[in-house]
Structure 1
């Protein structure tokens, strides 16, 4: 497993207040699925550029690093990097109207780390950290609740009973829907890769994060449980009951976003390492 101390000097990374809300997306299986499919779709030149950075490791191993390292006591992981996993887009706005906070967000971090990957003077540790965040952030922005509406911490405060277990809506989309399939990340990657048509591959190929944010915001408005069967108000005292019906309806949406994140990760990396 890749482990290293982030080299912060010269990167222009801002510090933030310690009270940032935690935010994870897709969980380890989802991030590995996205990275595994993306790695398969890279062209030869981009694969070689990445191999120079990883030196025998894989994108799959790197993809979960920004979440795994958040248990590290280093102030970068505790205070600086948490906002790099999400953006806030209130209802009624589109991604062109994003207000980037002083501490940064997923979009500003993606721009920063893309610059590091293109910087010939950056050392291998800086590039490895940058690659980890680029792969991770592209996937994060495809999880609808990582484009938060600014009211409930991306669904973390929306409480649900998921097959009888008290959870929150954010966790359901992070991990619950994925774990419900009972597949390994390679099995899941094989299935989603196989099911992605050439037309979808062409249509999804792109490197503009604002497009992904708008897509997530649109889907975000459709995934909050609202039917009469889903009792409750979303509070801890009155959680919404979710089980087979919600899983049936939400899983295809989740899987589409995972597959899109994989294609866009490959597209973004090819764009990042493109040479004139």
Structure 2
């Protein structure tokens, strides 16, 4: 028999503290490292040489988490300038060709800017290293459905859920919740997903256009909010939506596919960036 929802009753202040403590990044460290590790398996030799010139023996898995690790850096660049670069906003009912970029920029404009830095022969190695790490990270970000947000709930951060008795939000469930339930290291998870990625998948997913990835994420975003009925609760601090085995079962395969696609698209984007210029 289900425990009544009131068994989890908390003050609104306590719930808000728990939710705000949850990370707001797209994919947690494991997810990002999985995408970087998968990308390393798909880049071509020319791209690999270019990457090694820029960051030496640092792996793409290691590079993938750097922009999130720096978000606690007190420098103005990290606290103000770069903060909006991890997501885009596309309201419900709009398609990606209607995407509007704010003055401070977003993930799409940042990705374009960092690609230009990587192609600039005058850019310093330090600037290229920062750009490369951001590119690997942002391609992953744009494959997480809630990082193409609808502009109403901070990409699911305000949609309150009780995830296997843990008070959090829908954004965190996709960032980390479903991933950490696998109880795998990033290398184990990358190996598993690599074995499941067929040559036909790579051919089908090989697409260096951010518009493709963002539209896919927006389409998924419209579906992943759990509706009332099967999942009790309303998604508010007073009545968090209760998500357990059914939601995990329903959506883990899609989450894993987005990790696989991100790994392929990081490789596709870097191959495009580093393609010899005529």
Tell me the TM-score normalized by structure 1.
0.91
Matched pairs, number: 255
Measure how far apart 1:212 and its partner are.
0.5
Cα pair 2:24 2:172 within 8 Å, conserved: no
Cα pair 2:206 2:265 within 8 Å, conserved: yes
1:249 match: 250
2:179 match: 178
Runs of 4+ in 1 over 6 A off after TM superposition: none
Structure 1: 5+ residue stretches without partners: 1-21
Cα pair 1:163 1:243 within 8 Å, conserved: yes
2:210 match: 209
For 1:77 and 1:102, the matched residues in 2 are separated by: 17
Cα pair 2:228 2:234 within 8 Å, conserved: no
1:10 match: none
For 2:136 and 2:226, the matched residues in 1 are separated by: 30
1:41 counterpart SS class: coil
1:154 match: 155
For 1:55 and 1:143, the matched residues in 2 are separated by: 28
1:39 match: 40
1:237 match: 238
For 1:68 and 1:221, the matched residues in 2 are separated by: 29
For 1:184 and 1:259, the matched residues in 2 are separated by: 16
User: In the TM superposition, what whole-angstrom CA distance separates every residue of 1:174-217 from its partner, at most 9, and x where no partner exists?
Assistant: 00000011000001000111101111110100110011010000
User: C-alpha root-mean-square deviation of aligned residues, in Å?
Assistant: 0.8
For 2:228 and 2:104, the matched residues in 1 are separated by: 38
1:273 match: 274
For 2:251 and 2:83, the matched residues in 1 are separated by: 27
Structure 2: 5+ residue stretches without partners: 1-22
Tell me the TM-score normalized by structure 2.
0.90
| 222-231 vs 161-170, which moves further | 222-231
2:80 match: 79
User: In the TM superposition, what whole-angstrom CA distance separates every residue of 1:102-138 from its partner, at most 9, and x where no partner exists?
Assistant: 0000010000000000001111110000001100000
2:41 counterpart SS class: helix
Cα pair 1:158 1:168 within 8 Å, conserved: yes
Q: Choose 1 or 2 for highest CA Rg.
A: 2
